């Protein structure tokens, strides 16, 4: 018997126009699920706070996406009461077997309030990220309290919690009351198609939100050291810049370091441009202070590109030091620079590490394999026999 599924997720407003890691994951997982015989229907609920091109869109015979105006204020404090009301009306209409929320924050909170058969995927430790960003003000401390309470509530109520890394499983140990299942995020087939990589210019790619958590300051310092050894080196910085003042601070730092034409700040790009940037890169670099399982690293591996990353969160589960890239202790700018230099100086080494990464990605991130394991999670949530 096929399953009827509702997914509450960040999802592209237009096909192919993907913003951020979770949209990349959901836009890959949804068609992979729809391709499985076990799925009869899949309805995506995408809450938003802006304008959208359409309110509903069909994607093939099985998939419908509904764009819903989300609660404008106080969502965390009120447990998303207005969004929950909308979702309950839709659940009553569709009568799904399971509701799958793509995160343990507000989307997970909605899902676990509207059904007993909720599956939630841990895309990030939102309470940890909130605590990292919080300052000493009463307002920020209060927000952290509400966010932490929300996460605990979601993990207590969900029938199945999907961990995307052993790191998040360890961090959430003791909070999950249902079943925890380990399923990595899928990576879209178009990234796998970029492999095998050909020779490239000495060009490095950072892709992610320009935020303190990603530590672009440390990355620029390390790149400045690397550029002294490899004069032709270039660093491309791709990704959204939600805080204009912070983004300007990073640009000013690049100027102070004398990086000039060696660095390019691209900003938010569509998926096609991201693939082009990955294809042109010698390696992908990430010097974050905290991560769960970064989408860009999986995409780089699929494309046959080596990775240089800080040894944080779930990254060591993706990157094996010396096999498909390099791991450096968080904050060690000199060591990070050394690893970048090694790849910038040695094209053959980069190709060798990238090829190994591609093989690892095929085993872990192939969309159909991830979809089949996700369906097992659905059947577990409803108490049915797993296939």
- pLDDT tens for 279-334 read 999 999 999 999 989 999 999 999 999 999 999 999 999 999 999 999 999 999 99
Both 169 and 217 in a single domain?
A: no
Both 148 and 215 in a single domain?
A: no
Whether residue 386 lies inside any domain: the answer is no
What's the pTM? 0.88
Both 375 and 322 in a single domain?
A: no
Q: Which residues pair with 99 in a beta bridge?
A: 6, 118
Q: What's the confidence (pLDDT) of residue 135?
A: 60
Q: Is 44 exposed, middle or buried (0-12, 13-18, 19+ CB in 10 A)?
A: buried
Distances (CA, A) of 364 to 21, 25, 264, 299, 358: 17, 14, 32, 12, 10
Strand stretches in the chain, DSSP E? 3-8, 39-48, 56-59, 63-69, 98-101, 118-122, 160-163, 179-182, 203-207, 234-238, 263-267, 283-286, 307-310, 325-328
Tell me the mean pLDDT in the region 44-52.
94
Both 371 and 339 in a single domain?
A: no
Both 260 and 153 in a single domain?
A: no
Compute the distance between CA of residue 203 and CA of residue 105 in angstroms, rounded to an integer: 36
Both 72 and 89 in a single domain?
A: yes
Distances (CA, A) of 10 to 35, 129, 224, 262, 263: 20, 18, 36, 34, 31
Which CATH number is 217's domain given?
3.40.50.2000
What's the structural domain count of the chain? 2
Q: Is the pLDDT of residue 81 over 90?
A: yes
Both 21 and 62 in a single domain?
A: yes
Both 24 and 104 in a single domain?
A: yes
Q: Tell me: cis bond preceding 196? Omega within 30 of 0 counts.
A: yes
Q: What is the pLDDT of residues 135-185, one digit of tens each?
A: 656 667 677 788 889 999 999 999 999 999 999 999 999 999 999 999 999
Q: Is the pLDDT of residue 248 over 70?
A: yes
At 305 the three-state DSSP class reads: coil
Q: Write out the residue range of the structural domain in which residue 44 sits.
A: 3-186+366-381
Tell me the mean pLDDT in the region 193-199.
96
- % residues pLDDT > 90 (the chain): 85
Both 252 and 128 in a single domain?
A: no
Q: What's the confidence (pLDDT) of residue 21?
A: 84
Task: Answer yes or no: are the C-beta atoms of 286 and 297 closer than 8 Å.
Answer: yes
Both 126 and 46 in a single domain?
A: yes
Both 178 and 203 in a single domain?
A: no
pLDDT band per the 50, 70, 90 thresholds, residue 385 = very low
Q: What's the confidence (pLDDT) of residue 17?
A: 83
- DSSP letters along 320-332, please? -BTTTEEEE-TT-
Q: What's the confidence (pLDDT) of residue 387?
A: 41
């Amino acid at each position: 018997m096929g399953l009827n599924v509702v997914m509450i997720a960040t999802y592209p407003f237009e096909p192919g126009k993907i913003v951020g890691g979770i949209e990349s994951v959901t836009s890959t997982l949804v068609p992979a699920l729809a391709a499985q015989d076990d799925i009869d229907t899949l309805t995506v609920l995408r809450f938003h706070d802006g304008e959208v091109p359409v309110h509903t869109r069909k994607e093939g015979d099985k998939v419908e996406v509904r764009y819903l105006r989300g609660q404008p204020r106080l969502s965390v404090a009120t447990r998303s009461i207005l969004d929950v009301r909308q979702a309950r009306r839709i659940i009553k209409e569709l009568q799904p077997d399971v509701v799958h929320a793509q995160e343990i924050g507000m989307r997970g909170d909605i899902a676990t309030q509207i059904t007993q058969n909720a599956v939630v995927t841990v895309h990030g430790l939102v309470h940890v990220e909130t605590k990292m960003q919080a300052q000493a003000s009463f307002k920020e401390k209060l927000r952290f309290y509400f966010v932490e309470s929300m996460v605990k509530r979601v993990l207590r109520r969900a029938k199945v919690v999907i961990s995307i890394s052993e790191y998040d499983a360890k961090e959430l140990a003791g909070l999950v009351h249902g079943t925890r299942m380990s399923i990595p995020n899928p990576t879209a087939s178009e990234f796998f198609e970029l492999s095998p990589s050909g020779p490239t210019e000495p060009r490095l790619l950072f892709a992610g939100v320009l935020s303190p958590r990603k530590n672009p300051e440390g990355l620029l310092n390390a790149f400045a050291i690397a550029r002294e050894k490899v004069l032709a080196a270039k660093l491309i910085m791709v990704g959204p810049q939600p805080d204009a003042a912070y983004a300007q601070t990073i640009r000013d730092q690049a100027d102070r370091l004398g990086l000039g034409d060696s660095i390019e700040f691209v900003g938010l790009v569509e998926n096609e441009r991201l693939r082009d940037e990955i294809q042109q890169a010698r390696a992908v670099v990430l010097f974050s202070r905290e991560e769960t399982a970064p989408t860009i690293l999986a995409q780089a591996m699929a494309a046959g590109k080596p990775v240089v990353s800080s040894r944080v969160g779930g990254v060591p589960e993706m990157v094996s030091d010396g096999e498909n890239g390099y791991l450096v202790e968080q904050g060690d700018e000199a060591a990070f620079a050394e690893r970048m230099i090694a790849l910038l100086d040695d094209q053959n080494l980069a190709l060798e590490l990238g090829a190994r990464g591609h093989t690892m990605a095929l085993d872990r991130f192939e969309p159909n394999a991830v979809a089949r394991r996700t369906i097992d999670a659905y059947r577990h949530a409803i108490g049915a026999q797993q296939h």
